[in-house]
Structure 1
């Protein structure tokens, strides 16, 4: 089981990387200024960090191993993204002044992006932690 310290580090790195990648992309795709989108993405990232901590802690209890297979990784990433989508959709629609359907398609696009990002990030993060733990135990 991962410690809270490890989960906070994981979440912080994940969200920081996501913000760097997604804010300019969102601004370009929507035509909204980077400042307006930046405030939204920082707010969503803050919420996502809290959700990430909770979701991954729950997932650690359901799948208590560091060696997860692809199906488990997909379930971990998909569960996080779907939960976040449901909770943030109304906020995105309101903030950007768009309808729920348009916000859904925008969120779906970013969910798919972050699904792939989460698979890659989580696998890399766990690999690095496993190597560090192996070195520490030798």
Structure 2
């Protein structure tokens, strides 16, 4: 069983909205940066992450379905899922951080790793909660994707 398009969009938008609010507040406070400057970067990241999230989750679920016959994730799958997602996003966002924040690639890497650690924990908790609040249902599977 897999989730339908509407469910994936609800998942992605909810994830990004909650993550954006938390990241902007925590990031600007911890780094001592202007909330608007950091928040604008966070919004760009959010948009990039939403696109990445949609396609990455779809591919990950398809892989599970093909290799295991179900897209329901076990504990180990959730950890691998979160690590691979953040690794791919880190690769995409590193140059953007360096340019936006006008810092070296090393400093950008430290900032990006900090955000990745935040989102690793957040992604695990959000996806666990999402799956409990919105379990995969027969109706979701039967509606067109």
- Normalised to the residue count of structure 2, the TM-score between the two structures is 0.87
Supply the distance in 2 between the matched residues of 1:61 and 1:76 (Cα, whole angstroms).
13
Structure 2 partner of 1:82: 87
More relative contact order, 1 or 2 (CA 8 Å, 6+ apart): 2
Count of aligned pairs between the two proteins: 135
Consecutive unaligned residues in structure 2, runs of 5 or more = 141-145
Supply the distance in 1 between the matched residues of 2:33 and 2:98 (Cα, whole angstroms).
13
Supply the distance in 2 between the matched residues of 1:30 and 1:98 (Cα, whole angstroms).
13
TM-aligned CA deviation for residue 124 of structure 1: 1.0
Supply the distance in 2 between the matched residues of 1:109 and 1:72 (Cα, whole angstroms).
23
The SS at the match of 2:135 is helix
- Normalised to the residue count of structure 1, the TM-score between the two structures is 0.91
Bigger mean CA deviation after superposition, 64-73 or 38-47 = 64-73
Q: Deviations over 1:46-89 (max 9, x none)?
A: 11000000100000101133531111001111111010000010
Cα-Cα RMSD = 1.8
Deviating beyond 6 angstroms after TM superposition, the runs of 4 or more aligned structure 1 residues are: none
Consecutive unaligned residues in structure 1, runs of 5 or more = none
Once the two structures are superposed, the pairs formed by residues 25-44 of structure 1 within 5 Å of their partners are: 25-44=26-45
TM-aligned CA deviation for residue 29 of structure 1: 2.2
